Each structure stands twice: as structure tokens, then as C-alpha cells.
Structure 1
Amino acid sequence: MTGRFEGRVALVTGGAHGIGAATVRRLHDEGATVVVADVDPDAARRAVDALPPRAGGAPASVVGCDIRDSASVDAAVATTLERHGRLDVLVGVAGGTGVHAGLLDGMDDATWAAGVDLNLAGPARCVRAAAPHLPRGGAIVLVGSVNGLQAFGDEDYSAAKAGLVSLAQNLAVRLGRRGVRINVVAPGTVRTRVWTDRADPDRLAPLYPLGRVGEPEDVAAAIAFLASDDAAWITGVTLPVDGGVLAGPLAHFETLGGGGDPAADVSDR
């Protein structure tokens, strides 16, 4: 693994589980000093304790952080700066959705507001707190979703993730003047506890042209790329990391029993 982040400090929100924990491992393996910010500090500590030993550099550490609370976010950034004297990379993974009624099926105002707050206002709070401290060459990567790019349900979650696309585009213009970049990754179905706690994610594999759902490491690799100098001329972009599910309807068509050529299949009926 290359040391693309040697000498750099990265703050990862939602770093205790899933995509966040995989991102912590990836940045750590590539030389970063990682601060793992999570609403569950005990789980974050376990994620840090599971990291492989590394010679040189400050060890990874933990800070409690609830991205729904501005004071908590500000404190997490302040703690990072106190410990390490700098902040080079912000990765916003924290977010999520629950099982609830859709907007037109009785979703109440409180549920809508909570979903948008967690998945849009929360990452915005993190950017607001961290961006003033990022040096030229610094980077922000936010975790969106294919739900923000195409209709997959969960209207509050999807609308919030769509908002991250616009947020990154707008902030890319302002931050770019200081040499700071901001981008979004948009994962498809990824094998995390959000899925495994309620259903088998592999049942959705036939919907994906690459024939499988994603792993947290797939997304972490994309995050590391966008946060690194390898992406030095990329900002304001939303990168799907989705196994091809956004490429077109063919995979969905085949799942429903069609052949490789939708037109031929329709004509045979």
C-alpha cells in the first residue's frame, strides 16, 4: 500500500462500523493519522484497536461525535486540532435510514426532519466546522448514495443524499479558491450492518451488472482516491461506486426474466 497520506491527519465521522471502519483502515494503512469520530465511542475504540500496528506516526484515536449536534461536531474538530495541530482530510460517513412509512404513506414531519437532518444537515455541520482549518491541498469526501441520483425509495433519505450532490458542487466553487477540494461518493447496496441486520443483501446481487453487492472496502478505496493527491484536479464531483446499477435498466430487466436483448424478448411474447 502506498503512503499517500503520510504526515496527514484525517477525521472520519461514522468511523466505527461498515464503510466508516473500512475507510479508517484504508487511510491508516496509507499512512494517515486517523481520528475516528462516532456517536458510539466504545465501538470506535474497538475499530481503532483492530487496526494493524504501524511504525512511525501518531496512532489512531477516538472522539465522540453526534453530527446532529453542532456543539458535538465543533468539539470533535477542536479535539482533532488540539491533538495533532492540523486537519488535512474530512470524511463524512455518518448517516443512515430506518424502516418507516414513505412520504405519501403517512410519514410525519418529525420523521422527515430527522432523516434530512442526519443525512444532509449533519454532513453540512461537519464541513462548516472543518473547512476553515483545512490547508491548501486539503480534501473533503462525503458519503452519499445512489438514492440521491435515481429513484430507489426512502424519500427523506434520498432527498437528503441528493442534497449532498448540490452541497458539494456549491462548496467546490468556494473552497476551490483556497485549494481545498470536496467530492461525494454514491454507493449502491453495500454489505454493512444496516443491511445484514434486516435482510440478506445478496438477494439484490442480480440487480447489479457486476453480479454482486458492494463491500465496505470498495467504497473505502474510492474515498481514499478522492481524498488523495491522485485526485488533485477533481472537485465538485459525485462518483457512483455502485457495481453498475445506475448504468441502465438492463440488469433490472434480466432479473424480471428477460434475455440479453430487451427488444428481442418483447417481440417474442
Structure 2
Amino acid sequence: MTRFEGYAVLITGAARGIGAATARRFAAEGARVLVTDVDGEAAEMAAAGLRERGLTAEAYRCDVADRAAVEAAVAHAVDTFGALDVLVNNAFHCSPDAPLFEDGSDDAWAADLDITLTGAYRCARAALPHLAASGRGAVVCVGSVNGLADFGNHAYSAAKAGLVSLTRTLAGHAAARGVRVNLVAPGTVRTASWEGRDDELAAFAELYPLGRVGEPEDIAAAVTFLASRDASWITGTTLVVDGGITTGDTGFRAARRGPV
């Protein structure tokens, strides 16, 4: 497939996990991809891996908490590729909850919101003029089911819920400029953050109606769909990609022995 032949794509948090899988999918479908990450060395390794496969990818260190760094990354994409057609807001920060809500720290709350939500705002603000100029611009945000229901992590969940709202309001603004804005909300996905925790993932898999946790490629497929012409009449939506976990209380269903 070459749905993105000639497209220029910038992905944040793309050195590993969902971001790296998304970069692979875009590049495999013909896009020129700028792999950005706060870990510049890891971003370069990810981009080099794509180039080794004959794909087009460059790397750029970008901290989405830094407005100047974001603007420099967008400028680098435009300078390198001549345009910018797709922005994927994937970078995030997730702080563990304190045992008691009242023991939570301002710093943890601020970090989750600044990187996960405000970082996406900074990137969209810098990219929007270029996306509008492309004539086929799209923004895809990577949210979470945490932004839709209670799965813990107060600050991270609040940031992801805010990202749903930002997606909706930005879609309303950007539509007149020819830019679509959508969000993918994943459930549990097997990434490096779960390394060494296979027992936990196996326990989670039993809660998912489809019987497994997600893989980064599952989310990459949804992101690329929303960025493509296949989704040309879709904007402002949240596409839940979660193996069915938000369909209902799976624990209750398993415990039920008869009609309620």
C-alpha cells in the first residue's frame, strides 16, 4: 500500500512503542517521516532502522514541553521534506498515583498535563499553518481509554480527557482550513513500559472481551487510517481501539451467575 506516497509526517514520542510502530506504518506506506522524541539518540536509532529498510525517515530531538523545540522540529520537517501533511501527537507523561489522592504532588500533576496535553497543543499550534497549506492536512492525537473512563492515574487521565476536548474544538476550527483532527483512544498496549510484567499483561488480557491486550501495530493501523484519504469525511472524532474493554464491566460479567 502507498496511501501516503509523497506525504510528510511528523510524529512525537516516536522512538519506541506506539510512536515507533506508527512511524514504521507511515514509512512503509510511502511517507517521509520525521521521528521526534525527547531521547534524540533513540529517535536516531528508530529512523536509522527505517532507512535500513529502504524507507524515508529522519530524526530530530524534540521536547514537547519546550515551545522553541517544538517550533524548531516543525520547521525542520518543512525544511527537510518541503511540506508537512500529517502531525501525530503521541508524546505523553504518566506519573504514578500517590496511595492517597491528597498526597499527590503539584509537580507530578503539572508534568502529566504539560507533556500530554499542552505538548499536543504546542505541536498543533506550530504545525497548523503548514498542514493547512498542504491541502490534505491531518492531525491525529493518541489519547487513551483513561480519558473516557476510570482506569486510574488521575493526572494522566485528566490530560487524556483534555486531549479529547482539544481534538474536538480544534477540529471545529481547522475544518474551514482543510485540516482534519481526530483521536485514537487505545486500551492496554504491550510496550516497553510493560517489560518484565508479563503476568500483569496476562491478567489484563482476561479482562478484554477480545481476549488479548493491544499491540503497537493495532494503534498504528488506526492512526494511519484517520490520517489517510480513507477518512476524508471524518473529523473531531474519538476512535476507541481497546479490544472492547469500554463496552462494560467485564469483571461484573464474569462474576454474574444469572439475570440481574
Query: For this structure pair, what is the TM-score category when the shorter chain's length is used for normalisation?
Result: over 0.9
1:192-231 aligned at under 5 Å gives the runs 192-196=191-195, 200-231=200-231
Q: Which residue in 2 is equivalent to 1:161?
A: 160
Query: If you compute each CA radius of gyration, which structure gives the higher value, 1 or 2?
Result: 1
Aligned-partner Cα distance in 1 for 2:74–2:176: 22
Structure 1 or 2: more helix by fraction: 2
Q: For 1:214 and 1:228, how far apart are their aligned partners in 2?
A: 22
CA positional deviation for 1:105: 3.8
* Deviation beyond 3 Å, 4+ runs, structure 1: 197-200
Contact 2:44 2:60 in 1 (8 A): no
Alignment of 1:19-34 (within 5 A): 19-34=18-33
Q: Give 2:66's aligned residue.
A: 69
1:155-205 CA distance string (max 9 Å, x none): 100011000111011011110001100000000000011222566422200
* Corresponding letter in the other structure for 2:258: A
The one-letter code of the counterpart of 2:147 is G
Query: Alpha-carbon deviation of 1:71?
Result: 0.6
Give, in whole Å, the separation in 2 of the partners of 1:252 and 1:27.
37
Secondary structure at the aligned position of 1:81 is classed as helix
Q: Structure 1: which 5+ residue stretches go unaligned? A: none
Q: State the distance in 1 between where 2:128 and 2:100 align.
A: 33
Distance 1:29 1:225, change over 3 A: same
Superposition map of 1:1-269 within 5 A: 2-51=1-50, 53-54=53-54, 59-101=56-98, 104-134=101-131, 135-196=134-195, 200-249=200-249, 251-255=250-254, 258=255, 262=256, 264=258
Calculate the aligned-residue CA RMSD, in Å.
Answer: 1.6
- TM-score if structure 1 supplies the norm length? 0.91
Determine the C-alpha separation between the residues in 1 that align with 2:101 and 2:126: 35
Identity among equivalent pairs (%): 54
Distance 1:114 1:263, change over 3 A: same
The more displaced of 42-51 and 187-196 is: 42-51
Q: How many equivalent residue pairs? A: 256
Could you say if the C-alpha distance between residues 197 and 40 of structure 1 is closer, same or farther in structure 2, counting changes exceeding 3 Å? farther
Give, in whole Å, the separation in 2 of the partners of 1:89 and 1:144: 17
